[in-house]
Chains A and B, each alone.
Chain A
Amino acid sequence: DAKTTQPPSMDCAEGRAANLPCNHSTISGNEYVYWYRQIHSQGPQYIIHGLKNNETNEMASLIITEDRKSSTLILPHATLRDTAVYYCIVRVAGGATNKLIFGTGTLLAVQP
């Protein structure tokens, strides 16, 4: 699976949009971009995933660049409860395993 690069930390004001970037310049054509988050001392939680089109669900939006070498996770109205480490993971679709390899992630601190 391809590697990802994320900033180690970011701050965001409560109520504002949080935009978390991820670089995955070596992504292959059959690899999806997944986002998970981990609130302190809990198990990770799935947020969203996509292949090449932008995706939106009740939690967030995922914007993938046309060349697929980077993406941005958008939390439209961040709350204090969104403070967590956010992981961007690329993974092959149709692979023999569903395992996830976590990088270092971005610690998002939502400030009141």
Chain B
Amino acid sequence: GAVVSQHPSWVICKSGTSVKIECRSLDFQATTMFWYRQFPKQSLMLMATSNEGSKATYEQGVEKDKFLINHASLTLSTLTVTSAHPEDSSFYICSGGGYNEQFFGPGTRLTVL
């Protein structure tokens, strides 16, 4: 299957700082990518749909000013967690792909101290 990478795989930051997570499709072009968040022992929660060349679409309850998404090219989407706080500590996962199959990145574990 196709490959999606994420960088970094883990990050620790201080409260109040911003963190950028990159999601890349390595062998396909993705006009749409998705960002998920997963807390320990919980399921994946869809945060937003990242659209190449246009604004992201956020799910209900997700703060668009806190989770900034940029999809500047067909192979790269970025999620920036602004002014991160300990409650933002989570596993962030992106996906992209075709109609019948979504390919997921390996995830980024964010810990905010």
Contacts and interface: CB of A to CB of B under 8 A. Distances in A.
> SS class of chain B's interface: helix, strand, loop or mixed?
strand
A68 to B, nearest CB: 18
Contacts of B99: 93, 98
Interface residues on A, range: 20 to 34
B44 interface: yes
Contacts, number: 53
> SS class of chain A's interface: helix, strand, loop or mixed?
loop
Contact of B43 (A43, A45, A104): A104
A51 to B, nearest CB: 11
Given A46-B1, A97-B32, A41 B46 contact: no
A44 B44 contact: yes
Interface residues on B, range: 20 to 34
A99 B34 contact: yes
Given A49-B100, A97-B32, A43 B46 contact: no
A77 to B, nearest CB: 21
A100 interface: yes
Contacts of A41: 91, 107, 109
A101 B104 contact: no
A45 B105 CA distance: 9
Contacts of A93: 99
Interface string B31-47: 01010100000011110
A103 B46 CA distance: 11
14 contacts: A41-B107, A43-B107, A44-B44, A44-B95, A44-B102, A45-B104, A46-B102, A46-B103, A97-B32, A98-B34, A98-B97, A100-B34, A102-B43, A102-B46
Interface of B: 1, 4, 32, 34, 36, 43-46, 49, 91, 93, 95, 97-107, 109
Interface of A: 36, 38, 41-46, 49, 85, 87, 93, 97-105
